[in-house]
Amino acid sequence: MNEEELLAAVHGLLRPGSGALECREPGHPAGHICLATADEVNLSALTEQLSGRYGQPYGLARGGYMDPAVTERTGLPLLVPFGERLVEMRAWAYAGRWIGCGAMRTGEGIRPVVVVAERPDPAADGLPEDASWVDRIVAVTGWDPQRTRTVDWTAVEARLGTALPGDYKRLAELFGLGAFDGFLQLSVPDAPFKSSDIVRQSQWLAEWARAHGNRLWEPYALFPAPGGLLEWAGSEQADRFYWLTEGPDPDKWPIVMSEEIPDSWQRFDGSTAEFIHRMLTVPDHPFSTARYFDVHWFQSYRSLEAAGE
């Protein structure tokens, strides 16, 4: 298969109900499928196209050396079929499956490999009952908590003109720019695009409202009006997620959400992390992804984030 055919085949294997993964390669274990790649496939171009669809990949192997910390939870099913022949492997999580793209040694030289493998539910490991909502999101998405970044929150909050909820700040540090279940995109400081940057987007919306009026947000006002709406996330369906900045304690701000239809406001009286966790795990949540996916993930855009810095 050429690059276009490989992308189409990967996408088909990620669809719900696409069936069990049974590889036809001799000696390969169950639980994955290796896709036939044409000799002319450009590995770098294919990796870039997969990253454009599924976010920033995990690096599992490079230069013939595998990351010794890789486990079933972090992509090991993509490595097992190739053993010592593996030269390189990058991985993407998508619901209950892994996507892998790399290269292996053969008797005829090094050739690209594309593989789709079963991804165990990371939430199956369990958590203590007193785990924080942020810890629960890390667990249910299988996120690596070592992939954290440092944010100068004093500077961010000074530019914004308000303190921010503590659990949101921890989420922004841990996850950065990206989308939970490929749906809810977190706005973070210093994102490369204004619509993804919590400070610049807030400032732009406030300027727009001053020039054109507040009718798009009625019956609410926009921040920095007292008790106004401060946007912290959006979705690919144009849903918008705001804090209602009532009171001096950001950790007690309720959340209000709006779909791209009139009079669609809904309110959630809980924290940012609780809202996201319930969205991922509760089927009757108003913006639930649990109705569509049994296993959850975070689609990272950190390569874009780095490009904008």
Q: What digits encode the pLDDT tens for the residues 236-248?
A: 887 899 999 999 9
Q: What is the pLDDT of residue 152?
A: 97
Largest Cα separation within the chain, whole Å, is 70
pLDDT at position 262 is: 66
State the Cα–Cα distance between residues 264 and 309, nearest whole angstrom. Answer: 36
For the cut 70, the answer to whether the pLDDT of residue 230 exceeds it is yes
Q: Examine the pLDDT at 137 and tell me if it is beyond 90.
A: yes
Highest mean pLDDT among 26-30, 109-113, 117-121, 124-128: 117-121
User: Of 253 and 238, which is predicted with more confidence?
Assistant: 253
Confidence class for position 130, pLDDT limits 50, 70, 90:
confident
For the stretch 271-303, pLDDT in tens is 999 999 999 999 999 899 999 999 999 999 975
Task: Flag whether pLDDT at 159 surpasses 70.
Answer: yes
Q: Strand pairing partners for 219?
A: none
Task: Please report the pLDDT score of residue 309 as a whole number.
Answer: 38
pLDDT band, very low/low/confident/very high, at 306 (cuts 50, 70, 90): very low
Q: Has residue 221 got a pLDDT over 50?
A: yes
In this predicted structure, what is the pLDDT of residue 171?
Answer: 97
Of residues 306 and 279, more confidence is placed in: 279
Query: In this predicted structure, what is the pLDDT of residue 303?
Result: 59
Q: Which tops the pLDDT comparison, 304 or 246?
A: 246
Which of 283, 284, 278 lies closest to 293, judged by CA?
A: 283
pLDDT over 90 at 124, yes or no: no
- What's the pLDDT tens digit per position in 81-91? 999 999 999 99
Q: 93 or 72: whose pLDDT is higher?
A: 93
Chain-centroid distance of CA 28 in Å reads 30
CB 258 within 8 A of CB 142: no
Mean of the pLDDT values across residues 210-218?
88
Q: What is the average pLDDT across 220-249?
A: 93
Judge whether residue 184 has pLDDT over 80.
yes
Pair 75, 82: CB distance under 8 Å: no
User: Among 33-37, 115-119, 300-304, which is the least confidently predicted range?
Assistant: 300-304
DSSP string covering 285-301? STT-STTT-SS--EEE-
Quote the DSSP letter at residue 146. Answer: T
Q: For residue 17, count CB atoms less than 10 angstroms from its CB and return exposed for 0-12, middle for 13-18, buried for 19 or more.
A: exposed
Q: How confident is the model at residue 304 (pLDDT cuts 50, 70, 90)?
A: very low
Q: What is the pTM of this model?
A: 0.91
Average pLDDT over the chain, rounded to an integer: 91
Q: Where are the alpha helices (DSSP H) in the chain?
A: 3-14, 43-54, 133-141, 153-160, 166-175, 198-212, 272-281, 302-307
